[in-house]
Amino acid sequence: MKEINFPYKDINRDILRSLEKPGLLYVAIVSMVVAGVIFGGYCWGYQLVKGMGVAGLNHPVGWGVYITDFVFWVGIGHAGTLISAILFLFRARWRNAIFRSAEAMTIFAVMTAGLFPVIHVGRAWVAWWLIPYPNQRELWVNFRSPLLWDVFAVSTYFSVSVLFFSLGLVPDVAVIRDKAKGLRRSIYRYIALGWASTTEQWRHYMAGYGFLAALATPLVLSVHSVVSWDFAVSIVPGWHSTIFAPYFVAGAVFSGMAMVVTILIPFRKIFGIEKYLTPWHFDNMGKLIVLTSTIVSYAYATEYFIAYYGDDPFEQFIFWERTFGHYALPFWLMVICNCIVPIPLWFPKVRRHLPTFFVLSIFINVGMWFERFNIIVSSLAQDYDPFAWGWYVPSWVEMGITLGSFCWFFMWFLLFIKYFPAMAITEMKEIADPPMKHASAGHMEVA
């Protein structure tokens, strides 16, 4: 722990440095991702004008890349709440340096995920019919449908994540407010909500923060469970399985942690905060990735065992086809990236060698995207009746929107780190030794 123990003043100075005037590299990266967002927006506009025919979706594969993206992005959003809520309750002190970025990532990932059901329904202007409200047709939504559970689960997850994230930001915004001048100070004064850093405020704040963490913990486990029931509650071969909930949750944490690593390794370098984000943090994240990769690999094997032992010919057929059939490529990409690529992370040296870890994390992200694609598309393409079979190939519109979604996600993250501290200042102080006159630990100041 001593390696991230710095004087309070240094913590303020070092973390707030990321809010200074951006350099050329930052501007260039932001311009690139904004261009990607514009391209994605163009593709969606094209689909709205021309109709859903421009997407590769057709009978029998009605769910394709859009739902793949939705499930992928909801999964990416899981690491943030896991790190900020679950690790908070477990008092894992290594979370303090990374939870703010991970939480921001959660918000932006769920914002990205939320776009896809709207894009997928085609007539985006009636997507709000999913929300139950009194209307002149006297119709109500069907609360027995897993799709509606999903609406409630994802919107609750987004709302609670935003609340949790915003609450955590308040004391740090007060830090910016007290450092800023002029108009900037006035703006941050409003966002700081009157925070004065008194023990009385901290008392209620910490109590509430703990309760929010306790509420967010079952929530994070429930969200991807509910997403998995979109599939598991149906009777489609390859989907109708009781292991889907834990399997999806483990996969979500796995992909989310990989994305945190992908983002934080360049981030620490660009903003010169290597002494706050040390190999020790990545070592711990690597352990979580190893754990979840093992669970996911076990789940893959269990699916095959269930198909074999269940003796259902349709189930057996779909798993045979996934492995050796038309969609074998996404399957093997999934297996290689999610089960084999993470194996080197069992070794501490690899977890602490950040360039290697960065490359592995990208492979895991790719593997997890293909996992969702594999589950969704292969089952729909070859359902019970061979007469109804059909192959799905994503169109350029779908891939353009997917590319745009990645740019959209990174755009928000890049904007965030320029206006708010990407590391929690007050929580970094919590794990540092306080300034003491008569103590012998930490950065003691001896007269």
Partner 1 sequence: MKATVSGVLGIFSHMDVLIEAITKFRGEGRTDITVYTPTPRHELAHAMEEKVSPVRLWTLIGGLTGCTTGYLFTSFVSLDWILPTSGKAVVSLQAYTVIAFELTILFGSIFTIMGIINHARMFRKRTLPYDDRFTEDKFGIFVPCGEGDYDSVSSTMRDRGAEEVSCG
The secondary structure of 81-107 as a DSSP string is HIIIIIHHHTT-GGGGGTHHHHHHHHH
> Given the complex with partner 1, which of 10 and 283 has the nearer CB atom?
10
Q: Considering the complex, state which of residue 59 and residue 438 has its C-beta at the smaller distance from partner 1.
A: 438
CB of 165 to partner 1, least distance (A): 12
Q: How far is the CB of 122 from partner 1 (least distance, A)?
A: 24
Q: Which is nearer to partner 1, 41 or 442 (CB)?
A: 442
For the CB of residue 363, give the shortest distance to partner 1 in the complex, in Å: 34
CB of 183 to partner 1, least distance (A): 17
- Provide the binding-site residues for partner 1, judged by CB under 8 A: 7-9, 12, 132, 138-144, 148-149, 152-153, 156, 159-160, 163-164, 167, 170-171, 174-175, 177-179, 193-208, 211-212, 215-216, 218-219, 222, 226, 426-427, 429-430, 434-439, 445
C-alpha separations of 280 from 42, 47, 286, 411 in Å: 43, 46, 10, 28
Q: Give the separation between CA 362 and CA 337, rounded to whole angstroms.
A: 9
Question: What element of type H or E holds 251?
Answer: helix 244-270
Tokens of 118: 């709207």
Nearer to partner 1, 38 or 445 (CB): 445
Structure-token pair, residue 144 = 């027995």
> Between 192 and 261, whose beta carbon lies closer to partner 1?
192
Give 184 or 326: the residue with its C-beta nearer to partner 1: 184
Report the nearest approach of partner 1 to the CB of residue 293 (Å). 28
Minimum distance between the CB of residue 302 and partner 1, rounded to whole angstroms? 24
Choice between 220 and 290, CB closer to partner 1: 220
d(CA 414, CA 226): 30
434: preceding bond cis by omega (within 30 degrees): no
Judge whether 282 and 354 are in contact, CB under 8 Å: yes
Q: Which one, 133 or 309, has the nearer CB to partner 1?
A: 133
Give bridge partners of residue 58 from the DSSP assignment. Answer: 61
Least distance between partner 1 and beta carbon 146 (Å): 8
The torsion of the CA quartet 179, 182, 183, 186, rounded to 10 degrees, works out to: 60
Rounded to whole angstroms, how far apart are CA atoms 251 and 76?
9
- For the CB of residue 76, give the shortest distance to partner 1 in the complex, in Å: 20
Task: Give the CA dihedral 279, 280, 283, 287, nearest 10 degrees.
Answer: -160
Asked whether 77 and 106 are in contact (CB, 8 A), the reply is: yes
Tell me how far the alpha carbon of residue 245 is from its chain's centroid: 17
